[in-house]
Structure 1
Amino acid sequence: MSKPTLRTTGLDSVSEDSAADLTPTRKTLHQNILGKLRPLPLQYRWAVWYEKHSESSSANFDDRLYLLYEDIADIATFYRVYNNYPWEKVKLRDTVHIFRKGTKPIWEDPENVNGGCWTFRVPKAKSQSFFHEIAILCLANEFQAALEAEHDHVLGISTSVRFNSDVISVWNKSGSNPKAIKALEDTIIQRLSPDLRPPSDRSYFYKRHDEHEGFKEAVETAEAKKKEEGKGAE
């Protein structure tokens, strides 16, 4: 099955100063100098995943989830991946995830199983800019800082292609912590550029993973698979 692929071998580093321009351009002398400096590491390491849509919620994730880039440790690496990703080739209802390294973008992952996400339906004209800003806020720890006092964690973000809009989500670890959920909402809305902010709360919502159809089955399947693997290792 075909899917967008990442090709980053031999690419120059892209500085944060040039991040807003998604189209690769000839770099200035200043940018070239910045590109040679060692970038500061991010607080957390991140991975990029591609998920193919399936009509069945119980479809095996091993057949539809692909790890595209396993270790984003600094902002230069993020832009090297992001600016060279073939976004226009992401197929209808397929999804790109950026998640903390070691956490899969699935409900049944131990880090996600008790969590949920804020989901925004964003018009096509603004969706790429919206996701770009959400990604930077996430990787720069802006969302996590807002949740520290509530003992919660932001685990990743997703963007999924639809007909006239894209669906963009921010995943958190605790789906039963109303203060953290509200703090995350406020931070997302306040930190987005004014022209990207949702026109009303009717265009976005929060939902726990266990409220989704197929959640229980997914968790039970994952637990059964873990037991089988445990028996095989004995």
Structure 2
Amino acid sequence: MDFTSEKKEAENNKNTTNGNNPQEIVDSSSQLSVADGNNSISKEADEFRERQARDLKAGLHPLKSKFVFWYTRRTPGVRNQTSYEDNIKKIVDFSTVEGFWVCYCHLARPSSLPIPTDLHLFKEGIRPLWEDSANCNGGKWIIRFKKVVSGRFWEDLVLALVGDQLDYGENICGAVLSIRFNEDILSVWNRNASDNQAVMALRDSIKRHLKLPHSYVMEYKPHNASLRDNSSYRNTWLRG
């Protein structure tokens, strides 16, 4: 899905949104602020059809999935998991192309965010935590960027994710931009770390859509390994 045609209109309507968002992330001019598995899947499908019909009736363009932007203002030197969960804040959710651009145009650019900060984009119902039921058996592909280029690659990744352009999209949970002192790190989270075909296909799809230079190395780490060593980006398992 191509979102470019919607961007200009969204920027011209920045003052039409409402809600409350943390000031660190949202532009100052903004007002944004199992049961049975089969039953769960059926319920999600019904909710999607209802949402799609409602959006189409309103003249909007529904996305395949509903998404949520989150952010975490990390405390330097503190690695406590409880503290991390308490610091995760929801910014805004959206389910249409138009809704995405209204939200995205209000978000502060990565270069203006404090260090260290994590900006998350996840499908609705999935929290950006290793222990979440959608994430616990999965992992993430990791790419490290110089700070001067990370914003562009993050935007390309966000557009690919929201537009359902990455292969094995149903296996993707979300993406994270981790803003650090000497580099910024992009990661794409998937549901199943043991599905080697899906893991490697996701890597290739990310490389293709981001047009990564050959010099960039991608690393993969399962979330259960992150839980064991309490680290997101150290001791990665795969490189490619």
Fold in common (TM above 0.5): yes
Does structure 1 residue 199 correspond to structure 2 residue 214? Answer: yes
The partner residue of 1:164 within 182, 191, 196 is: 182
Describe the superposition over 1:152-204 as per-residue Cα deviations: whole angstroms up to 9, x where unpaired. 610101101122321011100001111101000111111224xxx14335x32
Change (3 A) 1:76 1:58: same
- The residue that corresponds to 2:204 in the other structure is 186
Judge conservation of contact 1:8–1:81 (CA < 8 Å) in 2: no
Is there any run of 5+ residues in structure 1 with no aligned partner, and where? 12-36, 217-234
Q: Deviations over 1:54-113 (max 9, x none)?
A: 4224233442100111x2101222122222212244221210000001110000100000
Aligned equivalent of 2:98, options 73, 76, 81: 76
Deviations 1:100-154 (A, max 9, x none): 01110000100000010001101122111101111111111112xx226xxx610
Q: Distance in 2 between matches of 1:210 and 1:128?
A: 29
When residues 62 and 7 of structure 1 are mapped into structure 2, their CA distance, relative to the original with a 3 A threshold, is farther
Look up the match of 2:68. Answer: 47
Worse overlay, 53-62 or 80-89: 53-62
Q: 2:30, 2:215 → 1: CA distance? A: 42
- Given that 1:58 and 1:214 are in contact with CA atoms closer than 8 Å, whether structure 2 keeps it comes out as no
- Residues 182 and 139 of structure 1: is their aligned pair in 2 closer, same or farther, counting only changes over 3 Å? same
- Cα distance in 1 for residues equivalent to 2:23 and 2:205: 37
SS in 1 for 2:140: strand
Normalised by the size of structure 2, how large is the TM-score? 0.68
Instruction: Note closer, same or farther for the CA distance 1:116–1:86 as it changes in structure 2 (3 Å cut).
Output: same
- Which amino acid is the alignment partner of residue 153 of structure 1? N
Amino acid at match of 1:97: H
- Is 1:111 aligned with 2:111? no
* Counterpart in the other structure of 2:50: none
| Structure 2 residue ranges without an equivalent (≥5) | 1-21, 33-57, 231-240
- Whether the 8 Å contact between 1:41 and 1:75 is mirrored in structure 2 is yes
Structure-2 residue corresponding to 1:30 = none
The one-letter code of the counterpart of 1:4 is I
- Kindly indicate whether residue 116 of structure 2 is the aligned counterpart of residue 93 of structure 1: yes
Paired with 2:206 and 2:130, the residues of 1 have a C-alpha distance of: 22
Q: What is the letter of the counterpart of residue 58 of structure 1? A: Q
In structure 2, do the counterparts of structure 1 residues 212 and 129 end up closer, same or farther at CA, with 3 Å as the change threshold?
Answer: same
Opposite residue 218 of structure 2, the aligned amino acid is Y
**Are 1:138 and 2:161 counterparts?**
yes
Identify if the C-alpha distance between structure 1 residues 10 and 67 changes in structure 2 by more than 3 Å, giving closer, same or farther.
Answer: closer
Tell me the distance in 1 between the aligned counterparts of 2:193 and 2:142. 13
Q: Give, as a single letter, the amino acid of the residue that structure 1 aligns with 2:88.
A: L
Partner of 2:224: 210
Q: Distance in 2 between matches of 1:116 and 1:129?
A: 24
Q: Does the 8 Å contact 1:8/1:80 carry over to 2?
A: no
TM-score if structure 1 supplies the norm length?
0.69
Q: In structure 1, what residue type is equivalent to 2:226?
A: H
Note closer, same or farther for the CA distance 1:49–1:8 as it changes in structure 2 (3 Å cut). farther
SS at match of 2:168: helix
Specify the code of the residue in structure 2 equivalent to 1:186: D
**Shift in CA distance, 10/38, structure 1 to aligned 2, threshold 3 Å:** farther
Alignment coverage as a number of residue pairs: 181
1:126 aligns with 2:149: yes
* 1:206 partner amino acid: Y
Q: Separation in 1 of the partners of 2:27 and 2:86?
A: 19
